[in-house]
Amino acid sequence: MNELLHMSEEDLAALPQKDTRSGFGQGLLELGNSNPNVVALCADLTGSLKMNAFENAHPDRFYQAGIAEANMMSVAAGLTIGGKIPFTGTFANFSTGRVYDQIRQSICYSDKNVKVCASHCGVTLGEDGATHQILEDLGMMKMLPGMTVIHTCDYEQTRQATKAIADHQGPVYLRFGRPKMPIFTPENAEFVIGKADHLIEGNHVTVVATGHLVWEAVLAARALHAEGVSVDLLNIHTIKPLDVQAILNSVHKTGAVVTAEEHQRAGGLGESVAQVLSEHCPTPMRMVAVDDSFGESGTPAQLLAKYNLDAAAIVRQCKAVLEASKTCA
C-alpha cells in the first residue's frame, strides 16, 4: 500500500506528468464514444478545457455557448429534459460564482442531471491572477442541496471520475486544474463517488487532502517519514457526500488531523471535516488552506509556497497538530 512512501526519489521524478484537465478531455471523449446521451457545452474555452477531441468526434452533440455562461448552464438544464447528460465546460470561476443562481434554480432545485465541469481552479491557475483563481467554489457548490462535489488529484483520476459521474443521476460539480502534475493513481482504478482513497497508511497523524494538494501531501508524508512521523493519508476526491467513516477510522487511530486544499478555509474540505469531527470525535486539527485572501499572479509553485499550501506547509501543520494533541491529552 505504501508504495508512494517508499518509492525512490528517482522513480518519483520519473512519474509521467499530465494536467488534470486533459484527464477530463480524455474521459469526455471516451464517454462520448460509449454513451450516445452524453452531450457537451463549452463557453469559448474548448482548447483550455481539452474538449476539442469530443467536439471533433461528436460535432452533433457539442454546443458552443460563446462567452455566455449563465445561458450555458440553463441550456444544459433544458437538455436533460430530453434525456441528455450534459457536461458543461469552463473555468471554475465562471462555472460557479458567475452562474450561481442558474445552477441553484435551473439545475439543483429542479434536480437536473447536469455535470458542471470546472477547470483552472485555485492558485495553481498561476499567472492569470486572482480574477481567475477561484478559491470559494467548493463552498458554494457544497451548500447546494442535491449537489455532488468532486475534486480529483491527477490526470488518471480525473479521467475516471469524468466517466463515473455520467452514471450518477443528479447534478455534479467536478473540479480540476491547469498545471501538469505527476500521475500517481493507478490506471483504470474504479472511481467510486463518495469513497476516500487510502493512499498511505500510518498512525501518527491523519492528512485529509483533495485535488492538487494530494500530491503535496504525498511529498509531506515522505518528508515526515524521514523524520520518524507516520502519516495516514486520505485522498478525499468526493467532498460531498463526504466519506465520514474513512475519516473517523483514521482519526480514531491517529488522534490528530490536518486537512489540505487549494481553497478558502471557509467553506472548503477542512470545514466539512471539522463539522464531522466536532459532532463525532472532537480531535486536534489544523487546516492547510487559503486564509481569507485572494490570490495573485505567479507560478503555481511560487503561489503554493506563498499561500502556505505546499508540502512544506503540510509538514509544518502536521508537527503543530501533533504538538497540540500532546497538550490536549
Using CB under 8 A as the criterion, which residues of the chain lie in contact with another protein when the complex forms? 39, 60-61, 63-66, 68, 70-84, 86, 101-102, 104-106, 109-112
Nearer to another protein, 109 or 252 (CB): 109
* Least gap, CB of 64 to another protein (angstroms): 8
DSSP 3-state assignment of 243?
A: coil
Of 63 and 294, the one with the shorter C-beta distance to another protein is 63
Least distance in angstroms from the C-beta of 158 to another protein:
25
Of 72 and 183, which CB lies nearer to another protein in the complex structure? Answer: 72
Q: How far is the CB of 50 from another protein (least distance, A)?
A: 23
CA separation for the pair 38, 28 (Å, rounded): 9
Buried b (16+ CB within 10 A) or exposed e, 156-171: bbbbbbbbbbbeeeeb
- Estimate to the nearest angstrom the gap between the alpha carbon of 188 and the chain centroid: 18
In angstroms, the CA 290 to CA 287 distance is 9
Please return the burial class of 188, using the count of CB atoms within 10 Å of its CB with bins 0-12, 13-18 and 19+.
exposed
CA angle 9, 251, 140 (to 5 degrees): 85
Q: How far is the CB of 191 from another protein (least distance, A)?
A: 27
Residue 94 beta carbon to another protein: minimum distance, rounded to whole angstroms = 13
Distance CA 80, CA 90 (A): 19
C-alpha span between 315 and 312 (Å, rounded)? 5
CB of 171 to another protein, least distance (A): 13
Tally Cβ neighbours within 10 Å of residue 268: 27
The residue written with cell numbers 477531441 in the block is: 53
Strands (E) located in 236-298: 238-240, 257-264, 285-290
CA angle 205-206-209, nearest 5°?
135
The C-alpha R_g of the chain, in whole angstroms, comes to 19
Which backbone phi and psi does 207 adopt, to 5 degrees? -115, 125
Q: Which is nearer to another protein, 78 or 241 (CB)?
A: 78
User: What residues are annotated to the active site?
Assistant: 69
Rank residues 76 and 181 by Cβ distance to another protein and give the closer one.
Answer: 76
Q: Which residue, 108 or 200, has its beta carbon nearer to another protein?
A: 108
